[in-house]
Amino acid sequence: MDDTFNVLKTFVIEQINQRLSTSQYSDIQLRKAIEPEELSQKIDLNIPHLGIDSPQMLNLIKEVLDYSVNTNHPYFMNQMFGKTQPIAFLADLLISVLNTSMYTYEVAPVLTLIEKETIAHLTSKIWGTGIGDGVFTSGGSLSNMKAMFLARQNKLNHVKNSGLFQEQPVAIFISEQAHYSFVKGVNFMGFGTDALIKIPSKADARIDVVELEKAIIRTQKEGRLPLMLVAIAGTTISGTYDDVETLAQLAQRYEMWFHVDAAFGGALLFSDNERYKLNGIEKADSVTWNFHKAMGMPLSTSSFLTKDKGDLNQAFHVNADYLFHHEADDFDLGQKSLQGGRRPEALKLWMSLKYEGEKGFSQRIEKLRANALYFANAIEKNPNFELFQQPDSTIVCFRYISEKGSISEHNELNVKLREAIFNEGKIIFNYAPIHDKIYMRCVLLDPDFTQQQLENILNSILEKASYIKAGAEV
């Protein structure tokens, strides 16, 4: 390793230390407001024939850092990931050092055992000790698609050979609040988007169970096969939990595969005070659960879990003698996965659980929930804001309201406010529609957030609103 590379390595390590040590300093800017055309002119993106020298490479690394979003910042609340647990960050570095894949025990012996132990721990929190199976995936989208795969295998196992071309159309029931991965999934699986039956949500963003059962009966009369029912444990926009118990009963009544998308909301299983919101999850056939969301793992740390141990092997087992040398070997995890090459993502969660313990994870969730409730109550007390509802999780949705104005005018105003704050680069949150209203949406994922920092979010919005009312540029 030459001196040139050592300079680059030292700089990157310094940046790692700085990012981890200053992650709670809310006065550090998250991003720079710059359009794609302008940014493409500032950075030399062209691939050279000859490599560049160390000073040029160092400058390039600085530019990448400078023009990227600081997602480890307490005020990064734009998506369902953010503040990273430092121990998990170290585990992620170790994964790159080890540079192996999770398809066979031969190339990942200890990591295979770690993944199996971690999966066993997760499934025990849903179905009890000794029940269930699972595998880590590239993300919640793939996990949801795997659920569709297993639902098909459950009812239409013969199509593994013959294909879907001669089969009756199927119906997969989801809430209109469900993640977009289900739309991609029915297309990927060959079911077609017509197979996806979107059920209206009620005012509280929970699936309308009455309308759901009507839709099931209607599609049966149309000659469709009810294949799968999905419960959302933590909707993408508002973090709301469907009535999992009631949906489990409907799935059983109509003999459908029951999947719970707990990509975000599964985190509450670590909390004795909050896990009741997932009552009924033990009746699920499969569960999606991500840990790069509320649990603070680096992207991407996701799992797909099944109640019956044999489901994954039956779905994904193939003959590949050059790779899998032991047919009945449960330690070749590639036989449970749709993916081939796969990073040992379980290491991040396993090391974090080892370091923090169950108690540490529980305390994290309790802190996040306390912050969400404090923030929601502060919003309710302020006449300038309208809270969507008391939050089920750590996502808080609210809107700024002026004295007068229609719904559309308020929607336009809230988008303007969010864009003004977003472009300033000090606080980042998103906005989204719930029914006919636009709400600002804060995903609170930093357990070290202070009440003063939370109140600063509202004060910043009020400040921008006063400029807009005055007709000033923001």
The CATH number of the domain holding residue 408 is 3.90.1150.170
CATH number assigned to the domain comprising residue 313 = 3.40.640.10
Q: Could you give the CA distance from residue 398 to residue 396 in angstroms, rounded to a whole number?
A: 7
Task: Provide the pLDDT for residue 206.
Answer: 98
Task: Provide the pLDDT for residue 2.
Answer: 67
Which has the higher per-residue pLDDT, 27 or 253? 253
- Please compute, for residue 306, the number of CA atoms within 13 A of its CA located in the half-sphere on the CB side: 24
The percent of residues in the chain predicted with pLDDT above 90, rounded, is 88
Tens-place pLDDT, residues 113-152: 999 999 999 999 999 999 999 999 999 999 999 999 999 9
Question: Into how many domains does the chain fold?
Answer: 3
Same domain, 248 and 311: yes
Same domain, 127 and 177: yes
pLDDT at 238 over 90: yes
Of 344, 365, 389, the residue at which a domain comes to its end is 344
Same domain, 402 and 462: yes
Q: What is the mean pLDDT of the chain?
A: 94
Whether 153 is covered by a domain: the verdict is yes
**Mean pLDDT of all residues in 81-102:** 96
Task: Provide the pLDDT for residue 468.
Answer: 86
Of 98, 8, 171, whose CA–CA distance to 351 is shortest?
98
Task: Provide the pLDDT for residue 320.
Answer: 83
Q: Is residue 1 very low, low, confident or very high in pLDDT (cuts 50, 70, 90)?
A: low
Q: Are 448 and 24 in contact (CB under 8 A)?
A: yes
> 69: which 2 tokens?
């979003």
Tens-place pLDDT, residues 359-382: 999 999 999 999 999 999 999 999
H/E stretch holding 375: helix 346-381
pLDDT at 265 over 90: yes
Question: Residue 131, Cβ neighbours under 10 Å: how many?
Answer: 15
Q: Is residue 327 very low, low, confident or very high in pLDDT (cuts 50, 70, 90)?
A: low
Q: Could you give the CA distance from residue 223 to residue 245 in angstroms, rounded to a whole number?
A: 27
**Mean pLDDT of all residues in 14-37:** 83
Same domain, 198 and 312: yes
Q: Is residue 473 very low, low, confident or very high in pLDDT (cuts 50, 70, 90)?
A: low
The backbone torsions φ and ψ at residue 361, rounded to the nearest 5 degrees and listed phi first, read -65, -40
Task: Provide the pLDDT for residue 122.
Answer: 98
pLDDT at 255 over 90: yes
pLDDT at 400 over 60: yes
Which range, of 161-165, 223-227, 382-386, 456-460, averages the lowest pLDDT? 161-165
Residue 10 belongs to what domain range?
A: 3-70
Same domain, 222 and 115: yes
**Mean pLDDT of all residues in 237-258:** 98
Provide the b/e sequence for 261-273 (b: ≥16 CB within 10 Å).
Answer: bbbbbbbbbbbee
Q: Could you give the CA distance from residue 317 to residue 56 in angstroms, rounded to a whole number?
A: 48
Same domain, 207 and 276: yes
Same domain, 280 and 370: no
Task: Provide the pLDDT for residue 469.
Answer: 80
Task: Provide the pLDDT for residue 289.
Answer: 98
Distances from the Cα of 366 to the Cα of 33, 284, 345, 374, angstroms: 34, 25, 25, 12
Whether 7 is covered by a domain: the verdict is yes
Same domain, 181 and 50: no
pLDDT at 27 over 80: no
N-to-C CA span, the chain = 50
**Mean pLDDT of all residues in 298-321:** 94
Whether 295 is covered by a domain: the verdict is yes
Of 52, 70, 88, the residue at which a domain comes to its end is 70
Of 278, 313, 344, the residue at which a domain comes to its end is 344
**Mean pLDDT of all residues in 405-423:** 95
**Mean pLDDT of all residues in 428-442:** 97
DSSP annotation string for 159-200: HHHH-STTSPPEEEEEETTS-THHHHHHHHHTS-GGGEEEEP
Q: What is the pTM of this model?
A: 0.96
Whether 339 is covered by a domain: the verdict is yes
Same domain, 213 and 297: yes
Same domain, 233 and 381: no
Q: Is the link from the previous residue into 300 a cis peptide, with omega within 30 of 0? A: yes
Tens-place pLDDT, residues 177-189: 999 999 999 999 9
Q: Are 182 and 196 in contact (CB under 8 A)?
A: yes
Question: Residue 171, Cβ neighbours under 10 Å: how many?
Answer: 23
Distances from the Cα of 218 to the Cα of 112, 224, 253, 410, angstroms: 46, 9, 15, 38
pLDDT at 301 over 60: yes
pLDDT at 474 over 70: no
Whether 92 is covered by a domain: the verdict is no
Whether 45 is covered by a domain: the verdict is yes
Same domain, 172 and 66: no
Same domain, 108 and 190: yes
Distances from the Cα of 402 to the Cα of 383, 388, 407, 411, 457, angstroms: 9, 16, 11, 11, 18
pLDDT winner (highest mean) among 26-30, 76-80, 402-406: 76-80
Whether 95 is covered by a domain: the verdict is no
Whether 91 is covered by a domain: the verdict is no
Task: Provide the pLDDT for residue 24.
Answer: 65
